[in-house]
Amino acid sequence: MTKPSDSAKQKTANPMWGGHYERAPDQWMEVINASIGCDHKLYAQDIRGSLAHASMLADQGVITREEAEKIMSGLATILGEISRGEMVWKTELEDIHMHVEHRLKELIGETAGKLHTARSRNDQVATDFRLYVHDACALVMGYLEGLIRALLQRADEHAETVMPGFTHLQTAQPVTLGHHLMAYVEMFGRDHGRFADAQARMSESPLGAAALAGTSFPIDRMATAESLGLGQPMRNSLDAVGSRDFALEFLSSVAICMQNLSRLAEECVLWSSAPFAFIRFSEAFTTGSSIMPQKRNPDAAELIRGKTGRVYGSLIALLTTMKGLPLAYNKDMQEDKEPVFDASETLQLCLQVMMGMVSDFTANAERMRVAAAEGYATATDLADWLVRSLGMPFRDAHHVTGRIVRAAEAHQRKLHELSLEEMQAVEPRITQDVFNVLSVEHSVASRTSFGGTAPARVREAIQQARKRYAL
């Protein structure tokens, strides 16, 4: 727990409401009330919003142009100071807004106080936070595009590399590694779309809503919205300061994206293990053991998998904070930022790490091909052959194929290792042609339906994805 600083113990009324309050808050009240330990990350957005507000106030004649230029010059100085790490954060100033205002007063004097005309900390923080999340969406989309690009490159390399496809983690049918990787291109593509949709929905400005009811000053909310790149102002002042669904939508998208990353991470862990040996990661994305010198642990993938639960917690935390709040602003909402900051930074890190892992792995094509031939993976191809060649209803073909698989199991042989006579003992009409469909290569090549695993289809999907994402 952070202890009160010496400055927090000073017995002076709070500078924001000292006209009504005669005594300072309790030292622990000051600690619990302060958010500067977290919301200092909003400094760029806070100054950006203040610049737009000051310019608009001058345009509307609420303050003079000279006052606005003085304010804007001071804000530019503060932006540089904070960027260089020169600002000293003080608990008694509570948040980033008061730090900027306090420093501005030191720089330009009483004119600084005019910046707060026609706005409240309520619409100020709502604007800052919305700008931060809006920017975070753009960053995440950029990293997703990088990951998709890496997946497309590896899928192109392995469009014909045969591997087992699984259901229930049991060998099901042969697929290609390229096809498998393209599944993640689709998943991360939907993630990209979710962030784009969320960003579009949050492109409205709360600035000018003031505390909750708007303002009597002749402000131009459309001007500040456009200046901030948010398109238009929010249409209801209560909603503007009292809603955080834009942050919840962002966190929901982050959580879904982390789930998709975690699934890929889990396959990286499985595939790089000795029993699978499908892929191998270099030393760049693995760690060793303090006691077992032979180990090469896929810790990067495991950490992505582990951090997923942390992001889920951030979403649940904010949902819980918001679930019982009446309109408009409540101090509970001070708890909205930390989960968003943490989840955003976590996702961005994990996307960059996964991008590196995808580019790094070496595939063991022979091991994957051998594994694809195990577990009677071409049994469905046999059933399909019975339907096509003998006109057998699929359910009957399924039954016949099951009996042939059982015969192969009894002899401890693969399907293609059975003799024609052994198959004809189950179904007399089977001909020598059946052996043409029992190889994993034929199985993969035959899956030519749209979205299928045939190499030609995989390469089509790669080209379409490159066009879709302009990669």
DSSP letter, residue 297: B
Convert the pLDDT of each residue in 411-430 to its tens digit: 999 898 999 999 999 999 99
> Active-site residue among 20, 168, 216, 290?
168
> Which among 132, 182, 188, 129 has a CA at the least distance from the CA of 155?
182
**Prediction pTM value:** 0.91
User: Does residue 9 surpass a pLDDT of 50?
Assistant: no
Residues 6+ away with beta carbon under 8 Å from 308: 258, 259, 261, 262
Instruction: Confirm whether 237 is a catalytic residue.
Output: no
Give the residues across from 170 on adjacent strands. Answer: 167
For the chain, how big is the Rg over CA atoms in Å?
31
- In a 10 Å sphere around its CB, with 0-12 CB exposed, 13-18 middle and 19+ buried, how is residue 131 labelled? buried
From the list 73, 273, 282, 289, the catalytic residue is 289
Within 13 Å and on the Cβ side, how many CA atoms surround 455?
13
- Note if 419 is an active site residue: no
Which single residue is written with the structure tokens 């503060």? 78
| pLDDT tens string 307-327 | 999 999 999 999 999 999 999
What's the confidence (pLDDT) of residue 22? 67
* Tens-place pLDDT, residues 138-189: 999 999 999 999 999 999 999 999 999 999 999 999 999 999 999 999 999 9
